[in-house]
Structure 1
Amino acid sequence: MPAFALAHLRDPQVNEDILTYLERIQATLEPFGGRFVVHGPEVEVREGEWPGSLVILEFPDREQAHGWYDSPEYQEILPLRTRHIEASLIIFDGVGPGYDPGQTASALRAQAVD
């Protein structure tokens, strides 16, 4: 099952450290099968608030996502970003092929009855 890392970057500002981070991050992703799915688009907020930017990375599984984040190569460049951009980052599992939310609703109903 794929896993994702989602970063909510608040008030991103471009400077030399950020450019260096961007130039080096791809090499930290490759050993873990990671790839950019979303990188800083303009978002359309439909509910709540979303100040800032969005990044989503995809990995083959959660183990690879953790391996990337904890790797010495990524930890070496991480301060280049964290010194300049306030962010929240989460890692989570995706859903497999054929996922049906109706089946999830049925399972939740069954649990609620018990």
Structure 2
Amino acid sequence: MTAYGIAHIRPETVNEDVLEYIERIQSTMEPFEGRFLVHGAEVEVMEGPFPGTVVVVGFPDMARARAWYASPAYQALIPLRTRHMAGEVILVEGVPADYDAGRTAAALRAAAGL
């Protein structure tokens, strides 16, 4: 099942470290079949505060997403980003093609006794 790396980034300044991070990150994802799905796009905030921007990277599965994040190549880049940009990074598994939110709601209802 597809997995995603999602980052909510609040850039403080563009400098040599940040540019090097951006220049090198793609090559760290390629061995794990990762690819950018969202990168550098302006967000359109519909509800609540959302300072910064979002980055979404897709991987074929959670094992490859975890392997990418733990890889020496990516771990070496992390300080280039974290020294200059606040943010959160998560890995999350997607849903199957036949996912139905109604079934999830029914299971939650049953579990809650509602």
The TM-score with structure 2 as length reference comes to 0.93
* Aligned CA-pair RMSD: 1.3
Instruction: Quote the residue 1:64 is aligned against.
Output: 64
* Structure 1 position 11, deviation (Å): 2.9
Count matched residues.
114
Q: Alignment partner of 2:90: what SS?
A: strand
The 3-state SS of whatever aligns with 1:63 is helix
* Percent of paired sites with the same residue: 55
Segments of 5+ residues of structure 2 without an aligned counterpart are: none
Q: How much does 1:12 deviate?
A: 4.3
Partner SS state of residue 109, structure 1: helix
Query: For each residue in 1:55-109, what CA deviation from the matched residue of structure 2 results, as whole angstroms up to 9, or x when unmatched?
Result: 0111111111110011000011111111111111011111110211011111112
How much does 1:41 deviate? Answer: 1.2
Mapped to 1, the partners of 2:12 and 2:65 lie a distance apart of 23
Q: Is the 8 A contact 1:12 1:85 kept in 2?
A: yes
Shift of residue 23 of structure 1?
1.1
Please report how far the alpha carbon of residue 113 of structure 1 lies from its aligned counterpart in structure 2 after TM superposition: 2.1
Query: C-alpha displacement at 1:110, in angstroms?
Result: 1.7
**Residue 89 (1) aligns with residue 105 (2):** no
Moved more, 69-78 or 8-17: 8-17
**CA distances 1:3-47 after superposition (whole Å, capped 9, x unpaired):** 111100013422111111111111100111111000121111111
How is 1:15-34 mapped onto 2 (pairs within 5 angstroms)? Answer: 15-34=15-34
**Which residue identity is paired with 2:41?**
P
TM-score normalised by length of structure 1: 0.93
**Segments of 4+ moved more than 3 angstroms:** none
Corresponding residue of 1:109: 109
Alpha-carbon distance in 2 for matches of 1:8, 1:98: 28
